[in-house]
Amino acid sequence: MNAEIQSIIQAQRALFDSGVTQDVTYRKQKLKLLLKTLRLQEDRILDALKQDLKKHPFEAFGSEISTLMMETRHALKNLSEWAKPQSVSTPLIHWPAQSKIIREPLGLILVFSPWNYPFFLSLAPIIGAVAAGNCCILKPSEFSPATTELIKQILNEVFEPGHVAIIEGDGKTVGPELLSGPYFNHVFFTGSPAVGREVMKMAAEHLIPVTLELGGKSPAIVEVDANIKESARRIVWGKFWNAGQTCIAPDYVLVHQSCYEDFIRECKFYIQKFYGNNAAMSESYGRMIHLKHLRAVATFIQQGELLYGGQVNEQDLFIEPTLIKVSDLELGIMNKEIFGPVLPIVVFNDTKEALEIISRNPDPLALYVFSKSRSTQNTYLNKVRFGGAGVNMPLLHFATVDMPLEGIGTSGTGNYHGQYGFETFSHRKSILASPLFPDLRLKYPPFPALQGWLRWVLRKL
């Protein structure tokens, strides 16, 4: 490990061991200062996101800044209650003992954040970790440099270097270096399943617990009784938000065969309504993060019948909002996460067939069901394993602080947001306190002759 990283870790360990960050008042002060700084730096944040991903200011504010402010306010409002010792019931047989659970910080937290929502996904885990009383090191993506530079300035303004620090560099080099020893008490990673597996392997060498927020192929199902116009509008919005570079975006759509023609017509209508006849000229439409990713996404355009879009401009990092009809489920477009503005559409005949198609890519991070029938909605919600879901609306479950974002299986492990983030970065100590008197002698050897009677009493208790 290089000297700079080693120095940062040592400074964080010293600050944590001093007990400063465990003071709830101190935690609140830092969160209040962060909230104030976010307000003051709002225009600069929007400018950085424009530079990195060509995000429209409204889109950037809605998905990165306002959600982060909401997380911070929620933590400030509830932190005192979250941090309180929690009294729990004690079995009568242990009378007069009392039981409680206290929450203490884990220690040093390592956060790996991605490039697609580089501001929110960097700072949201840190809010939970700081609220719980930890020190943090952030390793942001090297592919969003303008946002990273601003995050560095904000962290330096709000936190002492020993409290929250940022380490930059190539993830393939810096990541293994940070995970080369038992330096951290928890690792939080947001990114692809492939890299998540490697992070988990390296952390496992040192028995470091890991939270993984990954992705996968999240389906949207448009059932026979769906409101087609509204379903198309919302799916187009959710898919092409941030140019499709959203881990919980609809990755493909299953459309009932009776609705297919109407659905395609409405999707085309809303793409043009949202972005005009030439999306390349729309201020509301973003760009790919870099050329390598653009080329990877562009390969999917040829894997089916082109229904709309398909234009690619490498110099502008632009891929047009694209609709593809897919009949061959063996193609890469149906077994790899797309993470871009290409939307495969598959026709199905009945619910059983739709469930079989979904089962080919199990454990999606998100599931979206478009149907007016509560029974139909519940069929999908109960029979599919998924992280989170939206009924007749994509994406918005992510922005609800009282619900966790949580993957399952290949889409991740562990959760955060609101109190769930606080709990993720806390250790729960279970404590039973027993007075010296009275002290029931029945539990000590030699055991009494009336064992049958005592067993009967214990069973009843």
Query: DSSP state, 387?
Result: S
Q: Are 65 and 45 in contact (CB under 8 A)?
A: yes
φ and ψ at 424, to 5 degrees?
A: -60, -40
Q: Are 100 and 396 in contact (CB under 8 A)?
A: no
Both tokens assigned to 368: 């979206």
**Three-state helix/strand/coil letters over 297-335:** HHHHHHCCEEEECCCEECCCCEECCEEEECCCCCCHHHC
- List C-alpha distances in Å: 164 to 142, 227, 261, 315: 18, 48, 53, 37
Question: What is the secondary structure of 43-64 as a DSSP string?
Answer: HHHHHHHHHHH---HHHHIIII
Q: Which of 289, 225, 207, 222 is nearest to 254 (CA)?
A: 222
* Catalytic residue from among 247, 259, 266, 406: 247
Query: DSSP state, 16?
Result: H
* Catalytic residue from among 59, 213, 266, 320: 213
With b for 16 or more beta-carbon neighbours within 10 A and e for fewer, the 18-27 pattern comes to eeebeeeeeb
Q: How far apart are CA 233 and CA 220, in angstroms?
A: 13
> Would residue 213 show up in a list of annotated catalytic residues for this protein?
yes
Q: Which residue has the tokens 């909230």?
A: 35
Q: Which of 445, 446, 443, 95 is nearest to 454 (CA)?
A: 443
Both tokens assigned to 182: 């038992």
Cβ neighbours of 252 (radius 10 Å): 25
Q: How far apart are CA 130 and CA 98, in angstroms?
A: 30
Q: How far apart are CA 61 and CA 63, in angstroms?
A: 6
Active site residues: 213, 247
